Amino acid sequence: MNEMQALDAFASLSQETRLRIVRLLVIAGPDGMPAGAVGEAMGASSSKISFHLSHLERAGLIRSRREARSIIYSAVYPALSGLIEFLMRDCCQGRCDPTEAKCAPETCSV
pLDDT on residue 87: 85
Report how far Cα 36 is from the mean position of its chain's Cα atoms. 19
How far is it, in rounded angstroms, from Cα 18 to Cα 12? 7
Class of domain 3-107: mainly alpha
pLDDT on residue 110: 41
Cα-based distances in Å from 30 to 54, 86, 109: 18, 23, 37
Which strands form 70-75's sheet, in the order they lie side by side?
Answer: 33-34, 70-75, 62-67
pLDDT on residue 102: 58
| pLDDT tens digits along 57-84 | 999 999 999 999 999 999 999 999 999 9
- Amino acid found at 29: G
How far is it, in rounded angstroms, from Cα 14 to Cα 22? 11
Cα-based distances in Å from 61 to 77, 96, 97: 8, 26, 25
- Model confidence pTM above 0.95: no
The low-confidence residues of the chain, meaning pLDDT below 70, are 92-110
Q: Are strands 70-75 and 62-67 parallel, antiparallel or unpaired?
A: antiparallel
